[in-house]
Each structure stands twice: as C-alpha cells, then as structure tokens.
C-alpha cells in the first residue's frame, strides 16, 4: 500500500457498508456548498418519507470523471444506511379529520406564549376559563417515550426516565441523529390505579416531543441506547391545561397544584378523568424568570365520568 509523504494525506479504508446513492449530472462550477446542501436535504427527505434509517451526520460526494469545464460531470451522494429499516410498526392511517377553521386569536396567542418561536405540538384552544385554565384539543403529536418502571411519582423516577430520552435526543438512536430543540422540553404522564392493594398505584411515562420532519419515520433506540425508548402518538385528545410557574417536578408541588386544578374544574362543572394527568415542562431549570409549566388533566364527556 503506498504511504503518503505528507501528513495532510490519509489512507482511509471503508468497511463493507450498505449505502443510499443519489446521482446527478451538473457542470463543475455549479457544485457549491449551497447546491450540495439542497441536494442532501432533498435526499434525506425522500429517505425519511420512505421509512429508511440512515446516518445523517456526514455524506460522501463521489465523482466518476475528471472535472472538465466543457462538459457536465457525473456525481453521486452516498449516505450510510443503518441496520434498522422501519423498525417500528407502521401506524394506521389517521381517521379523516374535518377541515378546520383558521386558528382563533386565542389559540395563536397561546401558541406564541408557549412555543416562543420553537416547534411545538399542534393544538387549538376550545375554551378559556378563569384562573388561567384552558380547554385544548391536541392532535397528531408524536413522542419518544420511556416508562421507567417506578410505581410512584418522584424526582428520582423523573430523572430515571428522562436520562434515556436525553441520550436519544443527542444521537443515541437508530438514525444516529441529533434531534433539534422542541417545546415542551419534557412531558410526564401519570396514570393512577385506585384498585385496593394494587402493587403499582402510579404508572409513569416520560416523553419528548419530536419535530414534524421525523413523524413519518422517527428514530428509535439503537443497539447501544440505554433504556426502552418507544414511539407514542397523541392523536386527538382533549385536556384542561393549567399554567403553573416555578419548578414543577417536585411531588409535593404537583399534588398541590393538581388538587387546586381539580377543585376549580369542579367549580366550573367541567368533567375530567381523576386518574390521568400530565406534567408539562416548557423551560429548563436554569431559566430563573418567566419559567412556564402546565398541568394537563384529560377531559371527558360528562355522561361518562363521575365528577361532573
């Protein structure tokens, strides 16, 4: 094997890999940084829409002829495929949703307050109550989720669930892809079991909202990922959302705010599930001022619940 005489030249051996290839023919002066970025983005979009899993952190540009000024040159883009293709069952086609009216000003104002220019779940505000309570409808929301297996809501159980999601977000997944920031930054679902002598009185699920570009083929955990991250979908759910400031992941604080919310909903004559609620965190702990959190309680038809 020839040995380079300069440190600027390296010998690189490629292992046997499966790759995706996209070819094109252009003049050599057209191959600019902007041109390649558009080609790569279009290729990644097609692969994701087809449910393919691939490494998106780098790619190869291959040329099969000498760059000539008087004729176009044949190029190829190469991207490594991972071993998992559509590793989760294909979700059923969503039920046809009636055509929605334009978002109300209240919904737009709420989105601006919660999202702050960052992608967040799709929702509409159905009704607004006093005490800062809103009734909202969420739809087509895709999460990466973890159930830590603990049977009680505690600070430790929350962090046990969020650590695998933190690693997942930073590239420990089947796509080896870093997921950009979304809001809310964390969602904890608590489902309580009031059965006498039950072994697990609370079922916990921690979730991370995935950006819409990943909804068609979201990454799942890779072989090195710690913890059972799964993809969950919130298709069409009504909730009562209650805005809470400060730090919300302490069990005592959650119980107090949840009790206040239930009391106020009962005051309005609203109907809801006693045993199903969400703790929604929009800001990191490092944010000291203007921190936003919410508690969601799943709304229910008054004829199907006992608290209405």
Does the pLDDT value for residue 306 go beyond 60? Answer: no
Closest alpha carbon to 184 in 251, 136, 228: 136
Summarize pLDDT for 152-162 with one digit per residue, the tens.
888 788 888 88
Give the three-class secondary structure for 159.
helix
Whether the CB-CB separation of 292 and 114 falls below 8 Å is answered with: yes
How many other C-beta atoms lie within 10 A of the C-beta of residue 250? 14
pLDDT value of residue 89: 47
Q: What is the pLDDT of residue 136?
A: 95
Express each pLDDT in 197-245 by its tens digit: 778 878 888 999 999 988 888 887 555 554 578 888 888 899 999 988 7
Which residue would you say has higher pLDDT here, 103 or 266? 266
Q: What is the pLDDT of residues 5-63, one digit of tens each?
A: 666 666 666 667 788 899 988 888 888 889 999 999 999 888 877 777 778 777 888 88
Which residue reads 């909730």 in tokens?
239
| Token pair listed for 153 | 């809501």
Residue 88 has a pLDDT of 47
The predicted model scores a pTM of 0.67
DSSP E strand stretches across the chain: 19-26, 60-63, 73-80, 122-128, 133-146, 186-192, 202-209, 230-244, 272-281, 293-299
Q: Are strands 230-244 and 293-299 parallel, antiparallel or unpaired?
A: antiparallel
Partners of 205 in the beta sheet? Answer: 189
Q: Is 50 exceeded by the pLDDT of residue 111? A: yes
């Amino acid at each position: 094997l020839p040995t380079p005489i300069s440190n600027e030249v390296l010998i690189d051996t490629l292992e046997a890999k499966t790759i995706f290839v996209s070819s094109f023919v252009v003049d050599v002066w057209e191959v600019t940084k902007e041109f390649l970025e558009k080609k790569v983005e279009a290729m990644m979009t097609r692969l994701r829409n087809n449910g393919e899993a691939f490494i998106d952190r780098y790619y190869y540009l291959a040329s099969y002829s000498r760059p000539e000024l008087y004729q176009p040159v044949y190029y190829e883009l190469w991207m490594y495929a991972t071993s998992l293709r559509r590793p989760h069952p294909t979700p059923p086609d969503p039920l046809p949703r009636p055509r929605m009216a334009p978002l109300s000003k209240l919904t737009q104002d709420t989105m601006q307050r919660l999202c702050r220019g960052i992608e967040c779940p799709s929702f509409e505000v159905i009704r607004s109550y006093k005490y800062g309570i809103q009734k909202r409808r969420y739809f087509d929301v895709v999460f990466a989720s973890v159930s830590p297996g603990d049977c009680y809501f505690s600070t430790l159980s929350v962090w046990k669930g969020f650590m695998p999601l933190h690693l997942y977000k930073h590239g420990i997944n089947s796509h080896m892809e870093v997921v950009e920031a979304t809001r809310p930054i964390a969602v904890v679902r608590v489902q309580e079991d009031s059965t006498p002598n039950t072994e697990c009185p609370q079922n916990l699920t921690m979730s991370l909202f995935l950006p819409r570009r990943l909804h068609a083929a979201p990454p799942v955990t890779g072989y090195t990922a710690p913890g059972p991250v799964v993809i969950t979908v919130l298709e069409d759910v009504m909730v009562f959302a209650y805005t809470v400031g400060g730090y919300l992941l302490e069990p005592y604080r959650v119980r107090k705010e949840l009790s206040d919310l239930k009391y106020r909903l009962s005051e309005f004559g609203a109907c809801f599930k006693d045993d199903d609620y969400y703790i929604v965190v929009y800001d990191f702990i490092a944010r000291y001022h203007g921190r936003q959190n919410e508690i969601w309680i799943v709304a229910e038809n008054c004829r199907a619940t006992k608290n209405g």
